Chain A
Amino acid sequence: MINKKSHGAQLTAWGWPAVLIVIAALFSATPAPATTLAELVAGAKKEGVLHGQWGENSFGGSEGFKEIIEGMNKKYKLDLKGQYTPGPDMQRLMLRIVQEAAAGQPASTDVYLGNAQAMLDALNAKVLSPMTFNAFIEDKPKPDGKFNAIAADGTHVAVATAVVGIEYNTDLVKGADIPRRMNDVLNPKWKGKIASTPYAAGMREFATPDFLGREKMVEFTKKLSKQIGGLMRCGEAERITSGEFLMLVFTCGGNDVNVLKRTGAPIGHTVIEEGTVLHMRYAAIPKNSRSPNAGALLIDYLMTPEGQSLLWKHDGLDLHLFPGSQTKRELDKVRAAKGKIIINSPEWLASFKDYSKIQKELETILRQGAK
């Protein structure tokens, strides 16, 4: 390996392009960011169009986006046009934005909606535009301990909360069979009939010192890997309703179950007694956004009661920090059962230096089986 550290020379593949990008950025005329809601609305009006891209199963997809734009137009008296394109998963989309920024291309989406891991990647790559969200958002949620929904540097805002647990087919897993504790899923009767995610959702957070620790989770994951019949992604709830798998251990959040249940689908979601992880959903403006004001206005709208209501309607989640939140009610039950709750935020992830290593270890065990 030719390494710049070992050889002293700055042998990087993208040294010159990076320099050119910096020079281009210095000479480009960037308008001053809006500091008040009125300026933001005026800026959005000028931009006229908002391009949105995220997974179809996130934030209500195309239907959710359409209603959000309609809601924004009504609330802020705008005639904003929205163009939504279903995109890849949250991490992949963020990596794409990072690449687009490095190449001097506009971002695929004017406003990014995603999870804590993607947000951490974005912060490391410095591709988010700091905005004065504290000045825009009228109904600011109260912090939960050290966790604050609006990042101090204005780069991102937590707009919703997904609660990690186990998804199951309610026709095939009933009554006492519904897992209450983590080890319940290791019952031999489920062998070959349950699934996990290829990215060890939930388990990676349970493996942190704040929760159950690495040793315990590696041991559990090895057992689970022998127990599962396959892997599925979060959001593929049809594989549970169809009976292909009876359970998903663990989910990225029970929000899609909340939506699917309304159609009468045989699906349920349970939180284990050990506790849960809150997968926060974040919104942010990429530096290479074509409509940063319209994007920031969307974030502002999502933090209003109307926006929260649309998130609940289309994605089965809202922000647990708001007093009337549906997710808060679910969490109150977990708290009453004395289950541990941890909040997965980019700051929390950044505090564990071995987090990525543990995650890779668990992913390998799940993908290749516990050999």
Chain B
Amino acid sequence: MLGRPASGLPGGSYMRPAVLRLPAIFHGRSLTSPALLSLALIPMAVILILVVVMFWVSLQQGAFGTPSSVYTLGNYREVFTDPFIYVVVTNTLVFTISATFFALLFGLPIAWLAERTTIPGKTLIYALMTLGLLIPGIYTAMGWTMIAHPRIGILNRWLMELFDLSEGPINIATPIGMGFVQGLSLAALAFILTAQMFRAINPTLEEAARVHGMGYAKILRRVTLPLARPGILAAMIYILTIGIATFDIPAILGLGNRVYMLSTFIYLKVHPQGSGLPQYGITGVVGAFMILLAGLLTLWYGQVLRQAHRFQVVTGKGYKPALLPLGAWSIAAWAFIIAFAFMSKVVPFLLIAYAALTPYFVPPSFAMMRRLSLAHFYNMDWELVLRGLTNTAILVTVVPVAVLLSGFSLSWLIVRSRSRLRYALEFGAFLPHALPEVILAIGALLLSLFVLGRTIPLYGSVWLIAIVYIVARLAFATRALNGSLLQIHRELEEAAFVAGLSTIRTVWRVLFPLLRPTLFSVWIWTALLVYRELTVAVFLTVQDNITLPAVIWSYWYGGTLNKASAVTLLMTVVLAPLILLFWWFGRRSNVSLN
């Protein structure tokens, strides 16, 4: 029925004028609704500019921004002929695959439990998964250093004593070990990316299977998982690209142990720790290859999208999800969730609290417990913390709204349009995700310094950070919204158009209510990701625009780990009740929708 000629619709002459108001995208002619189009295209323009800057940078060597800088292809030659880059790429691949595997291993089952079963305490599950995001990756990494470091790791010490070993058998500072820690950190994202997809799956298919005598395991294997496949694939692609670009955990666990990933390789090129100038050109070359990689991943994702119409299961009729009764299995399910929370959240959080209260950092001991004090809180630079908090509050307020508006506009055009332009939009929306944020930040930095200059004074302002955040988070929003839009049948929008609603009103009256859980989760997750985002802030912070995570990073980078822990503890404790409140509203919203 979709996309068919208007004459194919029932209703005769009365229906005809309304049908004429159908957006042209349904007929593959052109994209309409200037408001939606603008919201989608403005961030695309920013992305395009940043990509151009990156290519421009890749062609320069010397002190960037000074007359000594020259155009050359030397950066490409240098990257291609450096055998070390192949070691880095291999490490990155192993790390990325491991991280994706472990993220889905934990995130996917917990999402399924939270959305498709009768497990009790769902709000607590959401709270656990969300609160974990507030704990910066550097602490998860440090927590696991204390657990599995060959020399000071508690687990290794225990194994050495138990089996009389001369050295610890587990080494977390390997690509697989780091992938495990990264996977724990990304499991929360896997959870949120797949939870809303599980929520939207039509239960009638499962019920039909049950009526035909299928057991729960078989239903899960034959019905639920195939229905969820596009969402799982999308989550997998998304996490894969994060793995390639991620910085904090490889930096903490890898740099010091001489295990390099692409992100830390770029970091070293831009942060010459000793001699030499920042090699922005090398980052430009790596960024160019990342664009190619993003292209391949986008093609793959496009394949998933093209087949996805088979999975459109939420319609205007009879949308009523049913839940699988868990019974006594709830205990096992909760044991799994608690084990995950302990590994990924509780240990790092305890470590933060401990470090915030100790005068200097040593492994936890009873002797040290007697020396705990609030000295780091008394001596805190409150002016700096408040400056960071103000800027972070501005970003958390502005960025998620902008991301939602642009993300929805993009998703709607990508999913509903039949124009070939949708592939370009899809590619553009996915691109920032595949690029390490370091590269986006460098592009924005050089653009604001040397192109915009004082004409558009963005350098050193919080708005420059906001623009990069919006662009960087767009992929997250479109991934989540694409999946949900795919599962809302077009007949609902058609009905609205037929009833005479404009595009904007259709979006507002029909799509937004149906998408409310996804919009809410995108909003809150974007806010949280913005709240804890570090890499971009580190590159773009000057004086007045410092953010709270950048304060923490500056303390940590400056070797004052205890001060960094004190600020982290503060920011987690202050925000925890707010997060719980958000989720309470979120769950209420879901219940009323369902």
Contact = CB atoms under 8 A, between A and B. Distances in A.
B592 interface: no
Contacts of A57: 558-560
B285 interface: no
B215 interface: no
B274 A359 contact: yes
Contacts of B379: 63
12 contacts: A55-B554, A56-B560, A88-B557, A91-B273, A99-B64, A105-B459, A109-B543, A231-B257, A243-B363, A244-B145, A356-B275, A356-B276
Interface in A188-232: 192-193, 195, 197-201, 204, 229-232
Contacts of B387: 85
A12 B359 contact: no
Contact of A230 (B64, B257, B449): B257
Contacts of A74: none
A87 B538 CA distance: 9
Contact of A238 (B61, B275, B360): B360
B362 interface: yes
Interface stretch (B65-73, B189-197, B312-320, B574-582): B65-73
A237 B277 contact: no
Interface stretch (A144-152, A258-266, A300-308): A258-266
B255 interface: yes
Interface stretch (A174-182, A277-285, A322-330, A363-371): A363-371
A186 to B, nearest CB: 18
A231 B258 contact: yes
Nearest to B563: A56
Given A367-B258, A368-B84, A263 B274 contact: no
Interface in A13-65: 13-15, 17-18, 51, 53, 55-58, 61-63
Interface stretch (A1-9, A129-137, A156-164): A1-9
A13 B560 contact: no
A76 interface: no
Contacts of A242: 152, 361-363
A56 B360 contact: no
B151 A193 contact: yes
Interface in B543-583: 543, 546, 551, 554-555, 557-561, 563
Contacts of B105: none
A103 interface: yes
A293 to B, nearest CB: 18
Contacts of A56: 554-555, 557-560, 563
A288 interface: no
B278 interface: yes
B453 A199 contact: no
Contacts of A229: 151, 257
B559 A243 contact: no
B74 A1 contact: yes
Contacts of A51: 543
B580 to A, nearest CB: 31
B360 A62 contact: no
B359 A264 contact: yes
A73 B508 CA distance: 59
B381 interface: yes
B450 interface: yes
A344 to B, nearest CB: 13
Nearest to A99: B65
A131 to B, nearest CB: 22
B258 A256 contact: no
Interface string B30-68: 000000000000000000000000000000111111111
Contact of B72 (A3, A98, A104, A125): A3
B377 to A, nearest CB: 13
A18 B383 CA distance: 37
Interface of B: 60-74, 84, 145, 149-152, 173, 255-258, 268, 271-278, 359-363, 371, 379, 381, 383-384, 387, 449-450, 453-454, 459-460, 541-543, 546, 551, 554-555, 557-561, 563
Interface residues of A, number: 78
A334 interface: no
A363 B273 CA distance: 9
B362 A108 contact: no
Contact of B559 (A11, A256, A265): A256
B381 A63 contact: yes
Nearest to A199: B274
A243 B151 contact: yes
A92 interface: yes
B63 A98 contact: yes
Nearest to B363: A242
A105 B449 contact: yes
A123 interface: no
Given A99-B449, A204-B274, A368-B84, A2 B71 contact: yes
A102 interface: yes
B70 to A, nearest CB: 6
B559 A236 contact: yes
Interface in A247-293: 256, 260, 263-266
Given A117-B275, A243-B152, 20 more contacts: A12-B70, A13-B62, A15-B67, A17-B65, A57-B559, A85-B541, A87-B554, A92-B272, A95-B278, A98-B63, A99-B66, A99-B449, A104-B454, A231-B255, A238-B360, A256-B559, A263-B359, A263-B360, A360-B276, A363-B275
B256 A260 contact: no
B77 to A, nearest CB: 8
Nearest to A265: B360
Top 10 nearest A-B pairs by Cβ distance? A199-B274, A56-B558, A86-B554, A235-B559, A62-B381, A238-B361, A1-B72, A265-B360, A57-B559, A359-B275
A183 interface: no
A100 B449 contact: yes
Nearest to B77: A1
A66 interface: yes
Nearest to B457: A105
A239 interface: yes
B92 to A, nearest CB: 16
B225 to A, nearest CB: 42
Nearest to B145: A244
A211 B258 CA distance: 29
Nearest to A103: B449
B271, B275, B459 pick with most chain A CB within 10 angstroms: B275
Contacts of B61: 1
Given A92-B271, A98-B66, A85 B546 contact: yes
Nearest to A19: B67
A316 B267 CA distance: 30
A187 interface: no
A368 B91 CA distance: 14
A15 B541 CA distance: 27
Given A11-B71, A105-B459, A244-B145, A230 B258 contact: yes
A233 interface: yes
A321 B274 CA distance: 26
A13 B258 CA distance: 35
Nearest to B380: A62
A215 to B, nearest CB: 19
A61, A85, A368 pick with most chain B CB within 10 angstroms: A85
A347 interface: no
A199 B275 contact: yes
Contacts of A260: 360
Given A2-B71, A14-B66, A61 B274 contact: no
A108 B66 contact: no
A197 B274 CA distance: 10
B450 A103 contact: yes
A193 B384 CA distance: 37
A70 interface: no
A230 B363 CA distance: 19
Given A56-B559, A86-B555, A105-B459, A199 B70 contact: no
Contact of B274 (A15, A91, A100): A91
Contact of A368 (B145, B258, B381, B460): B258
A291 to B, nearest CB: 12
A367 B273 CA distance: 11
